[in-house]
Chain A
Amino acid sequence: MADYVQMWKDLGMDLESHDVLCSVLPTAVGDVFMTQQNRPKAMDFWDLVISEVHGIRPAELIEEQKKGRKVFGTFCVYVPDEVVIAANGIVTGLCGGSQFWVPGGEAVLPKSTCPLIKASVGARLGRTCPFFRIADMYVGETTCDGKKKAYEILGEDVPMYVMDVPQMKRPEDILKWKNEIAAFAKKVEEFTGNKLTPEKLNEAIKLFNEKRKALARVYNARKSECLPISGRDALLMMQIAFFDDPARCAQMCNRLADELEQRIRDGVSVVPAGTKRILVTGTPLAVPNWKLHNIIETSGAAVVCEEMCTGTRYFENLVDETKTTLDEQFMALSERYMKTNCACFTPNTGRIDDILRMVKEYKVDGVIDCSLKFCCLYDTEKYSVSRALKEAGVPILSLETDYTDTDAEQLRTRIGAFVEMIDG
């Protein structure tokens, strides 16, 4: 491993605590990923990235900052990366996925806040994540009450810009989101000192469409009866996509998809024929949260799709590339982003349609609907998700969990019983 200690020091990180965090990662990666048989060779890229997750990409970001580029940290798939890239900025995801950061978040937030928010705030305030140190500006959004109020606290420590996400999807809401994107673009122009042009924005739109298509190709391969990649590996790819350079992400995902498509032609599967296929839906799984996938895939089933922000919500639907003025492009962006179905909207029947469609597309035997503890939105939506699936005759298991490992055995029992149930 390269030596990043000086870089972390320069970032003002708490090295002692950071060492503790880093010391558990190799074991977790070993247990979850390296124990798998017959992994796609192209996973070597993501194995390398995760083995130095606080080194490789942060070092790249710092190099770019030296050239005058600004780094924007985001927390949500609604924030349009295209606008930042068009102004020669860089985007990095910031969501915290480790229990390590939760106590730091609980020092300032109510205990009954979801672990993702607590971990994100803890990662910033505890100075134990380089991405949270590097980002020049945080871009938040009003997708839930917990985040809204947490951004006020983060805003005391770092420049913070919050986008106002509508709560409904009427035509006036799509127009409103377009105006929010335009306002964000203005902020980005000010902050980077670079003017947005329709040409640059069009280039950025195409860049992200290519990234989405590449991610979709990997997911398409997972629709095959002959399953060429485990859910764990696909999840890792998806999680890293939030941090990586978009062009390289597309390139690596296409490289992986090439191999997966070849595997399907050769009949190479990572699981025995007849292994039950699970669609996981619900709240996002931020790095290094692999608990759910690991338990499912060591209980005799395989995860074939994630209807999640760290999943299909990130790449489904493309932005119209034919628009030639900024105004039209902002509208095209709004139209694409507003197609994403998050539980923060009401009504949100589109998500149910998505899940039912994916059950068919991915040849799913059972759905596991899992939300993070204290996520009122996804937790409440379980009712309608579960009812729709039962009506469609699709087995459904609803779970709630957090980042701790204390419920691992209870989850293992529920998931094991669910797999036994659909196995008949």
Chain B
Amino acid sequence: MKQYSIGIDIGSTCAKAVVLDAEKHIMERFLLPTGWSSVETAEKLKEQLSAYLSDAFTVATGYGRACVPFADRSVTEITCHGKGAAFLYSAPTLTVIDIGGQDTKIILLENGTVSDFLMNDKCSAGTGRFLEVMANTLGLRLETLCELASAGGGVSISSMCTVFAESEVISLIGRGEPRENIAFAVVDSIVTKVASQVSRLLQADGAVCLTGGLCELPYLRQALEKKLGRKVVTSSDGRYAGAIGAALLAWKDGAAK
């Protein structure tokens, strides 16, 4: 029986690692930028986890899950985010919204188990990448974009495509629209897109939670709440939901051995 379990979530933007002990307490959590090579990122993670590796089962998830040679197995991010979200927020029926760098996932959990899910199609509309590109165009950091957005209004971006939306933003800049209003339009666009996806799985009752990198932006959560007309909960560990889920599955593997 091993003492620890490790969950590794290599996303398109960020790689996350979580170490759990036998009581499922989080011993360690950290993140690294994924950069241009999942393999190199996995190597760096391995160094930082060296104290635990020999005494742990490891499960890898995320789009770079196949690039983690020291993991005992890999599991898709849907299953891991589901497990992780159920760990962070306990509710019999839970709709999980994970806005990641390249994927937005909507996961329906019933009693902690995935019963249905949706992912955005292969474009970046409604993902973290959309926000990043727009923030860059406006010369802002993500956090500042969201702060500004809370003071704006009255403008909307109609295009769902990141490339076309960027030209829309540029023409808004061109006609002298205040940055607050453009920032508002950017957040409103992503929230509208995400909310329409959520509506396909949203249950009449049950809780809604937001995980992934964007759950650390309070205005985004509020905007989502307003659009959905539902309370949306987050956790300071929301960004680690996938890694936590992977570590929980690694525990199960360890116990089965």
Contact = CB atoms under 8 A, between A and B. Distances in A.
B79 A409 contact: no
A276 to B, nearest CB: 14
B79 A420 contact: yes
Nearest to A409: B63
Given A409-B63, A424-B113, A417 B121 contact: no
Contacts of A424: 113
Given A400-B121, A409-B63, A410-B122, A416 B113 contact: no
B119 interface: yes
21 contacts: A400-B121, A406-B122, A410-B121, A410-B122, A413-B63, A413-B119, A414-B78, A414-B119, A416-B76, A417-B76, A417-B79, A417-B114, A417-B117, A418-B117, A420-B75, A420-B79, A420-B114, A421-B114, A421-B115, A421-B117, A424-B113
A361 interface: no
A420 B113 contact: no
Q: Which of B63, B75, B76, B77 has the most CB of A within 10 A?
A: B76
Contacts of A418: 117
A417 B77 contact: yes
B122 A413 contact: no
A409 B116 CA distance: 20
Interface bin, chain A: 10 to 19
Contacts of B78: 413-414, 417, 420-421
Interface string B104-123: 00000000011111010110
Interface string B68-83: 0000000111110000
B182 to A, nearest CB: 30
Nearest to A417: B78
Contacts of B113: 424
Interface residues of B, number: 15
A413 B76 contact: yes
Contacts of A258: none
Interface of A: 395, 400, 406-407, 409-410, 413-414, 416-418, 420-421, 424
Nearest to B122: A407
Contacts of B77: 413, 417
A421 B79 contact: yes
Contacts of A410: 103, 119, 121-122
Contacts of A416: 76
Nearest to A407: B122
B19 to A, nearest CB: 23
Contacts of B117: 417-418, 421
Interface of B: 63, 75-79, 103, 113-117, 119, 121-122
Contacts of B116: 395, 421
A418 B75 CA distance: 11
Contacts of A407: 122
Nearest to B113: A424
A395 B78 CA distance: 15
B234 to A, nearest CB: 23
A406 B63 CA distance: 14
A406 B192 CA distance: 27
A420 B65 CA distance: 15
Contacts of A406: 122
A410 B121 CA distance: 8
Q: Which of A409, A418, A420, A424 has the most CB of B within 10 A?
A: A420
Nearest to A422: B114
B76 to A, nearest CB: 4
Given A395-B116, A413-B76, A417-B78, 10 more contacts: A413-B63, A413-B78, A413-B103, A414-B119, A417-B76, A417-B77, A417-B114, A420-B75, A421-B78, A421-B79
Contacts of B103: 410, 413
B170 to A, nearest CB: 24
A424 B122 CA distance: 27
B8 to A, nearest CB: 16
B55 to A, nearest CB: 27
A356 to B, nearest CB: 18
A247 B218 CA distance: 68
Nearest to B62: A413
A421 B39 CA distance: 28
B108 to A, nearest CB: 10
Q: Which of A395, A406, A407, A421 has the most CB of B within 10 A?
A: A421
A406 B102 CA distance: 14
A407 B123 CA distance: 10
Q: Which of A406, A413, A414, A424 has the most CB of B within 10 A?
A: A413
Contacts of B79: 417, 420-421
